[in-house]
Amino acid sequence: MNSAQPPSVFRTKPIMIVVAWIVTLLISTLPTIIWRELTGQVPDLLFWTQLALLGIMIGLSFVWKEIRGLRQYFIVFLVLYFSERVFGRIGETSQWESWFGTASFTSSMLGTQLLRLGVAFVMVFTMLIIKHRRSEFFLVRGMTDAPMEPIRWLGVKAGAR
């Protein structure tokens, strides 16, 4: 195991970690769960508030240099949330219901998976726009025969592949 410090390029500023965690918690399902438990329902405004927060954070990343490195992170979440909403609305249309509604488990599951696939395509396209190459966002096969670092609590010994 190499004990040398990584180059400063790879060091993450503590403010970035704090901001990333706060924003991640605020845009996660945590506010939805809390709101549902306290009031019994979730207002549609919560989704738009979360999107607005991501938009604000993207804007702030242009002027606040300490979080500039999080801009792509916020953009990816914005696109993910928006595409989830769009494909969710498609799945609620009467046409979609007539194609994949209650006919059978197989057709219902096909409809669900097509919607998921649509979101996946949007995300891959977004990552290609942001990173330009599949390898830059890990959409390639890795080194499957690479030796692992030991992880004692999982029982992984040094050199395991």
Q: Is residue 151 part of a domain?
A: no
The predicted model gives 24-48 an average pLDDT of 93
Residue 79: which domain range?
12-134
Distances (CA, A) of 29 to 26, 53, 72, 78, 114: 8, 14, 21, 14, 23
Q: Is residue 2 part of a domain?
A: no
Contact predicate 108/148, CB 8 Å = no
Query: How far is C-alpha 71 from the chain's CA centre?
Result: 13
Q: Is residue 65 part of a domain?
A: yes
Instruction: State the sign of the Cα–Cα–Cα–Cα dihedral 111, 114, 120, 122.
Output: negative
Question: Which band of pLDDT confidence, cut at 50, 70 and 90, is reported for residue 29?
Answer: very high
Q: Is residue 98 part of a domain?
A: yes
Q: Is residue 150 part of a domain?
A: no
* pTM for this prediction: 0.73
The predicted model gives 124-135 an average pLDDT of 82
Q: Is residue 146 part of a domain?
A: no
Q: Which residue has the higher pLDDT, 52 or 138?
A: 52
Q: Is residue 5 part of a domain?
A: no
Q: Is residue 147 part of a domain?
A: no
Instruction: State the sign of the Cα–Cα–Cα–Cα dihedral 98, 102, 103, 106.
Output: positive
Q: Around Cβ 142, how many Cβ atoms within 10 Å?
A: 7
Looking at the structure of the chain, the number of domains it has is: 1
